[in-house]
Chains A and B, each alone.
Chain A
Amino acid sequence: MAVQLRWAALLGVLLGCSTKVATPDRPRDYWRTGNNVHVRGPWLAISPSRNVDEVIDQLCPAIMELPRTRDRDYGQEYCGAIYSLGDGTYYASMPSPLSEPVSVGPSTRKSCIPPRYVEDERGRPVVLADFHSHPWAPSPMTPADRIAATQLWSIRIQFDRVCTVMKLVPYLDSSRPGEVYVRRKKQWKLVGIIRPEDKQRGLITAAGHD
């Protein structure tokens, strides 16, 4: 009887685990080659959409279900990408916790590395944006999130532990100022610009004060 109970308990645990889908702990959802992080897509927790903002709006609640995403100084950040397969539909990649150990600053958080490559067996991904989380709130984009040297794609999305979502459009290859937005009530509100001469340092000037 005791043996049967143990088997039932084990079965329960296994079933419980199997219902938890789409978390990034399966092997090879993300990996690293040299300086580059690769992520696999799509992330099934995020519904694809032809409207990229609908994809963005799903990211924070899904990421915050992952381990240690809200643990402030001891938190883990996750990075991923938003991409299309050339058909006008946007997908989110699996999130990656891969990080570079750099213990500077007042916290011991684990920053993540934004992915440079997305692998999707259905086609050739075209990456539009990267995204990443912060384990505190309020916690907008850091200086390193904004400087030119860390920008990989046309857009960077960042959110904190209470899901305040920010968007940076760096316009690195243009004389146009970079733009910084905050998502409020399903709308993007321009809160700052990055003047061309400030792009290297990512210094924000309040919108309307340029």
Chain B
Amino acid sequence: MKRGLLPLLCLLSSCALFQQPPRPSHASPEEAAAVEIPLALPLEGRMVVGGVMLRAMNLAMEDYLPWDRKVPTEASPLQRCLHRRESYEVAAAPGPEGIVFVTIIPDASACDIGGPPVLGIGATYAIDVRGWRILSVQQ
């Protein structure tokens, strides 16, 4: 009995190392029923992002702020803010063939990075959009 327990414990603890990214949570049916999705998206603020660009941005952000990155327990409000993906803006442009450049920019209207001025935030990535790899990071 004891002999079987040890491999089982090892198996369970190793499973913890292979966590899956969380799937998006859905609102309750009642909440969903209260939202009307229009046939036409509003013109104001409407934007279209190409799939290649979107995936390149996502890949860069996944490296910059991985989904399982933990906020330190005693993090300051600024640090907590900078751990949220929505606290950044992203600029991207196609580069030489097969490369997309992605710049992750801290959004000063989301986090107070001016007081004190916090340097060294953000990064620029070169993404290989054929092999979907990070070619280089500049920070």
Chain A residues close to B by CB (< 8 Å): 35-37, 77, 79, 100-107, 109, 111-114, 116, 132, 134, 136, 138-140, 142-145, 147-152, 200-203
Residue B117 CB within 8 A of the other chain: yes
Query: Complex Cα distance A114/B115, Å?
Result: 11
Query: Complex Cα distance A143/B125, Å?
Result: 12
Query: Complex Cα distance A77/B139, Å?
Result: 13
Q: A152-B117, A202-B105 are in contact. List 15 more A-B contacts (CB 8 A).
A: A100-B116, A100-B118, A103-B72, A103-B79, A104-B64, A104-B69, A104-B82, A111-B121, A136-B139, A139-B139, A140-B138, A142-B120, A149-B113, A150-B108, A150-B119
Looking at B78, B91, B106, B138, the one whose CB has the most chain A CB atoms below 10 A away is: B106
Query: Complex Cα distance A149/B107, Å?
Result: 9
Distance of A61 from chain B, by nearest CB (Å) = 21
Query: Complex Cα distance A36/B83, Å?
Result: 23
B 113-137 contacts with A by CB, 8 A: 113-124, 137
Distance of B115 from chain A, by nearest CB (Å) = 4
Task: Evaluate contact between B105 and A147: CB separation under 8 angstroms.
Answer: yes
Chain B residues close to A by CB (< 8 Å): 63-65, 69, 72, 76, 78-79, 82-83, 89, 91, 103-106, 108, 113-124, 137-139
Query: Complex Cα distance A101/B83, Å?
Result: 12
Given known contacts A139-B138, A147-B105, is B119 in contact with A114 (CB within 8 Å)? yes
Closest to A32 in B: B116
Given known contacts A101-B79, A201-B91, is B139 in contact with A106 (CB within 8 Å)? yes
Query: Complex Cα distance A77/B120, Å?
Result: 9
Task: Evaluate contact between A203 and B79: CB separation under 8 angstroms.
Answer: no
Query: Complex Cα distance A138/B119, Å?
Result: 17
Q: Summarize A's interface: helix, strand, loop or mixed.
A: loop
Task: Evaluate contact between A101 and B119: CB separation under 8 angstroms.
Answer: no
Query: Complex Cα distance A111/B119, Å?
Result: 6
Closest to B72 in A: A103
24 chain-A/chain-B pairs, Cβ below 8 angstroms: A102-B118, A102-B121, A103-B72, A103-B79, A104-B64, A104-B83, A105-B120, A105-B139, A106-B137, A111-B118, A113-B116, A113-B118, A113-B119, A139-B138, A142-B119, A143-B103, A143-B121, A143-B122, A143-B124, A144-B119, A144-B120, A147-B106, A150-B114, A203-B105
Distance of B90 from chain A, by nearest CB (Å) = 10
Return the 10 tightest CB-CB contacts between A and B, nearest first. A143-B122, A111-B120, A149-B108, A149-B114, A144-B121, A150-B117, A35-B116, A143-B105, A35-B115, A113-B116
Query: Complex Cα distance A147/B109, Å?
Result: 11
Looking at A100, A107, A116, the one whose CB has the most chain B CB atoms below 10 A away is: A100
Distance of A118 from chain B, by nearest CB (Å) = 15
Contact of A142 among B69, B76, B117, B139 (CB under 8 A): B139
Query: Complex Cα distance A70/B85, Å?
Result: 29
Task: Evaluate contact between A138 and B117: CB separation under 8 angstroms.
Answer: no
Closest to A144 in B: B121
Closest to B64 in A: A105
Query: Complex Cα distance A112/B118, Å?
Result: 7
Distance of A139 from chain B, by nearest CB (Å) = 7
